[in-house]
Each structure stands twice: as structure tokens, then as C-alpha cells.
Structure 1
Amino acid sequence: MKPVGIIRFSPTEGPGYLSKFLNEAGIRWQLIRIDAGEPLPTDCSAYAGIAMMGGPMSVNDPLPWIPPLLALIRDAVRKDIPLLGHCLGGQMMAKAMGGTITNNKCMEKGWHAVEVLPQPEARQWFGGIERFTTFQWHYQTFSIPPGAMQILRNDYCENQAFTHGPHIGFQCHIEMTVEMVREWCKGEDPVMARPVETPSVQSNMEIQQDLETRIASLNRLAASVYTRWIEGLKK
């Protein structure tokens, strides 16, 4: 099988649990480090699937690598090469597919529950789960692109995930590890570090309470989603 391409936008926002899952599943993967100046592929056909991680920048920023990435995503959609987006990655998918990226009504940071919508498409990805707690770290959000189906929501951010055939884009972070959470709490970007008094924003102390237990639960949820995603990988 061809490798899975994993696109990283920030050195602290790597593949996390996704890499562990792929290794255990015996699936090769290749890290494309945008943050280190590595070039994007111009053709997605070399990959069985493409995953995108998070990052502190906005999809709307005038960065030179964003238009080529949006073109790569659209190419993957045309060729049915499965896409998987986490936070910024999900926003990139939404933008490329015809959605818009705007500031969310509030910043969302920490451990928050999301609702699985009663849609057949949601059951394909989450089975009988109706609600779960996941990790959040964002101030912007995506609209659901044309032809896609919203499958997750919560009161702080209406659009938490969408699916379109073999593709799935998340606003939340299901890929987290203990090490990643601790690293993020130590070195926040200026926007997310602003003091905000709202239930949607947890303190770094709150975020790290019972961290191992929370991560273990999130990893189980992520493993279920990733198992569904790799079913569509190209040979």
C-alpha cells in the first residue's frame, strides 16, 4: 500500500496518536513538515490518504503554501483519496471544498463534550455513541461545505466535524497525547494565551487534571474513527 501523507503545520502539533495508530496497524506514513519548509506534493496520487494536523495560523492568512494545499485537497476529493483533518486541517478541508472560515463566537480551549448528531453518516463514524468529551484549542471555525454532512456539534461551536464520502474534517482535536497537551500548555500562541473568563476556556491547571485518564478515553475514540478512515485508503 502507498503511504499515508501527514501534513504538519507546526512543530508542536504533530500527528500524535494518529502516528501510533498507523504504526500499530502496519500502515506506512510520511510526514510533510510545512513548518520546516518542506514542499507540498503537487499530485496526491502517491498517497493512500492524506491527514492534516493543527496549527496556530488561520486558513485566511496570506501564506504562500495555502493555495497549493487547497488545490491538493481538491485533487484528493476528485480522486477519492481519503482526507482527515484535525482543527486547522479540518478548516483547510472546509475551505477547499467551498466552505468559509470565520472567528467563532467564543474561544474554545480544554476538555469539552460534543454531541454526535442523529445522522446515518455520523453513525458510520461513531457507531452508537451519542456524546463524548474531546480536546479543543481554537478561536476560528468552519462552515459545512456544500455536499458535506455535519456530524458533531456543541454549544460553544456549532460545527465540530463534517464528513463527505471517505473524508472527515474535525474542528476538535482527537489526536492528542499526554505529551502534546503538556507541551501546548507550556508554550501557547499569543491568541490562545489571552486571559478570557468564559466556561468555554479552561485554565492550564484544569486541562491537565486527570490527564492520563482523559487521553486514554480520547485515544479509544480516535482509534474507532481512524479504523473507519483507513477502510477507504487507496491501495
Structure 2
Amino acid sequence: MSSRRLLYLGNGRKLASVARLDERFGSWGLSVERYWAYNGEFPGTLDGYDAIFLSGSPHGAYEDVPFINREHELIRDAAERGIPMLGICFGSQILASALCGRDQVFRRQSCEIGYKDLAVSAAAASDPLAADWRETVRMFVWHNDEVRHDHPDMVVLAASDDCPNQVWRHRTAPAWGIQGHPEVTRAQAPIWFEENRARMEKDGGDVDDFIAHPDEALEAKTMLTRFAEMVLRA
């Protein structure tokens, strides 16, 4: 078993999603320790952890909810310790909220949903996780909340036509946020879409079309594997 320990914080109604990203982190060589933050489960200390992953959630990072408040504290503690962090969807939003201020996350007027080719910024070329990306990177996006793009401690790595901050990193802390969902594989996507059909259709998504045309989003997934590789090399 690897000596490099990853703290996996599950912020959803289930500890792990269809994507089973916790298992994939394990298959990439990390020793994964899972805590269901949504259910109030947190480690007593961050001592001994080499990295942290923060999952999605039905909540907003700006909500006054006990587990969200506690996670804010954990993120700030991790940043002070220099522990690398990666967040997806809500995970990205709560990283921004904890490290750059609660006003950095806001409720959008409309949902952005569907597969999109995100414009990759010049900063990505020298980023430890996004350096494999070219001019655009494709992934599925689905969000009603958004992270602002103009905070001085944020380096935007990718943007969509409807959201100027889809992927970002913190200027000084080892923290990265991905608004979209590169973790879902082509095989998993139809299951995930069907599970969330009602919510996605309410948000304006064409679920039948999504199911008919799933995308592996391979290039986007390199950010996940690079995160694991970075932790293993440290």
C-alpha cells in the first residue's frame, strides 16, 4: 500500500458518486481515506495527510451549514500546512470560498449544462496539473453556482462561453478547482445522466441527447492523474 495518504471528503448525499473517483485515486497509487463530510464525518487532524480531494454537493458553499463551516476551517488549515487540494464542482466552490472569501461564490441566474469546449488560458501551459491541455479542453459542465474570476489570488486556467472561471488554481496555496465533471467516464455518463434526469431537465438539459452522445473527456482527465502523480512524487 502507498505511504502517500489522500483524504477524500465526500460532500454529497452519498459518500461516493457513480464516477468512483475515490477508487481511481487508489488505483493510481494513493492510499485513500474516505470521510463523509456531508454526514458530519471529518478526521480529527490533518497530520499525516499528503493531499485532499473535495467532492461535489447539492449545497452551496455560501450556505450556513455545520459541515460546510467545518470544511472551510479544514481547507484553511490544509493551506497553511501546504497540503495539495483538488476540488470538483462544489469542491471547487468551497476552496474558493475558504481561501478567497465567501463572496467569491454566487448563485447564477441560469444553469450552465452540457458538454463544452473550454478555452484554455496561457497560464495553463506552466501549471503542474493543466500543462497537457491545448487551446481548448472538453468536459461536461453542470452548475447553478459560480466562482468569480477576478480575485487577485486566483489564476484562471480555463473558461467557457458562459462562465469565465471553469478551472482555476490559487496563486500561492497548492489548491485547484474544477467546476465541470471530468471525473465521469464515457461508460459511467449514461448512468449518471439517468440518475439525475429530473434535476438536469429542470436545469434545461437535454438528457436524452447527453445519453446518446457521452464523451470520455480524456484530455480533461489528465488534470486528475497529474494531481495523483504530483502527490506521489512529493
Is it true that 1:204 corresponds to 2:212 in the alignment? Answer: no
8 Å CA contact 1:162, 1:170 repeated in 2: yes
How far the C-alpha of 1:141 sits from its partner, in A, is: 0.3
Conserved in 1, the CA contact under 8 Å of 2:15 and 2:36?
no
Structure 2 equivalent of residue 167 of structure 1: 175
2:77 aligns with one of 75, 86, 92: 75
Compared CA separation, residues 72 and 56, structure 1 to 2 (3 A): same
Specify which of 16, 19, 42 is matched with residue 19 of structure 2: 16
Q: Is the 8 A contact 2:76 2:98 kept in 1?
A: yes
TM normalised by structure 2 equals: 0.83
Q: Please give the secondary structure, in 1, of the residue aligned with 2:163.
A: coil
Q: Which moved more, 1:169-178 or 1:18-27?
A: 18-27
- d(CA) in 2 for partners of 1:189, 1:96: 31
Which digits, 9 at most, give the CA deviation of each residue in 1:157-214, with x for residues without a partner?
Answer: 1110111253211111111134653344334387644263xxxxx3001111232xx1
**What residue identity is the alignment partner of 2:37?**
I
What residue in structure 2 maps to residue 129 of structure 1?
Answer: 134
Which deviates the most, 41-50 or 116-125?
116-125
Could you tell me how far 1:103 is from its partner in structure 2? 1.7
In the alignment of these two chains, the number of paired residues is: 224
Coordinate RMSD, CA, aligned: 2.6
Shift of 1:28: 1.1
Aligned residue for 1:61, secondary structure, equals coil
- Partner in structure 2 of residue 45 of structure 1: 47
Q: 1:108-127 to 2 correspondence within 5 Å?
A: 108-119=112-123, 123-124=127-128, 125-127=130-132
Unaligned runs of 5+ in 2: none
- More displaced, 155-164 or 3-12? 3-12
Normalised to the residue count of structure 1, the TM-score between the two structures is 0.83
Aligned residues of 1:2 and 1:48 also touching (Cα < 8 A)? yes
CA–CA separation in structure 2 for the residues paired with 1:148 and 1:46: 27
SS of the aligned residue for 2:95 comes to helix
Q: Percent identity?
A: 21
The answer on whether the counterparts of 2:166 and 2:180 sit within 8 Å (CA) in structure 1 is: yes
Q: How big is the shift at 1:43? A: 2.6
Q: What's the CA shift for 1:22?
A: 2.1
- How far apart in 1 are the matches of 2:197 and 2:67? 20
Give SS of 1:43's match. coil
Alignment-mate amino acid for residue 96 of structure 2? A
Q: Separation in 1 of the partners of 2:59 and 2:187?
A: 21
Q: Where does the alignment leave 5 or more consecutive residues of structure 1 unmatched?
A: 197-201
Q: Aligned residue for 1:199?
A: none
